[in-house]
Copies of this chain bind each other. A is one copy, B any other.
Amino acid sequence: MKYLDDRDKSKIIRRLKLLEGQVRGLQKMVDADTYCIDIITQTSAVKQGLSNVEDLLLANHLGHCVVHQISSGQIEKAKKEVLTVYKLKRK
């Protein structure tokens, strides 16, 4: 099922490309003996960026898949999946 419209899809892929570059940058920071506090500040920024991607994905999931699931009676499946990602959020 196609739940992301083309604009959101491009936006998410663009953001993930940036995050990929940031993870590559982290390797250079470690290799260059950058001060550890500065590296952790940067790993934290990457995690925040991934969380933003998750928010966007969940918004689309709720607006498309969950609506579809509930309308077609798959309530348990809808419930179980949203709870799963909600519990993951803490990681």
Give the B-binding residues of A (Cβ under 8 A): 1-4, 9, 12-13, 16-17, 19-20, 23-24, 26-27, 30-31, 33, 35-37, 39-41, 43-44, 46-48, 50-51, 53-55, 57-63, 65-67, 70-71, 75, 78-79, 81-91
A79 touches B63 (CB 8 A): yes
**Closest chain B residue to A37, Cβ basis:** B81
When distances are taken between beta carbons in the complex, the residues of chain B under 8 Å from A3 are 33, 36
A61 touches B47 (CB 8 A): no
Given A37-B61, A51-B90, 14 new contacts (CB under 8 A): A4-B33, A20-B20, A37-B81, A37-B84, A41-B84, A41-B88, A43-B53, A44-B85, A47-B51, A58-B82, A58-B86, A62-B79, A70-B70, A90-B91
